[in-house]
Amino acid sequence: MTHLTTHILDATTGTPASGVTVTLGHLDGATIDAAATDADGRLSLGPERLDDGDYSLTFATGAYFRARGVASFHPVVTVAFSVSSDAHLHVPLLLSPFAYSTYRGS
Predicted local confidence at residue 105, as pLDDT? 87
Predicted local confidence at residue 2, as pLDDT? 54
pTM comes to: 0.94
How far is Cα 82 from Cα 41, in angstroms, rounded to an integer?
A: 23
Predicted local confidence at residue 1, as pLDDT? 46
Mind listing the pLDDT tens digit for each residue in 87-97?
Answer: 789 999 999 99
SS (H, E, C) 38-92: CCCCEEEECCCCCCCEEEEEEECHHHHHHHCCCCCCCCCEEEEEEECCCCCEEEE
Residue 67, pLDDT above cutoff 50:
yes
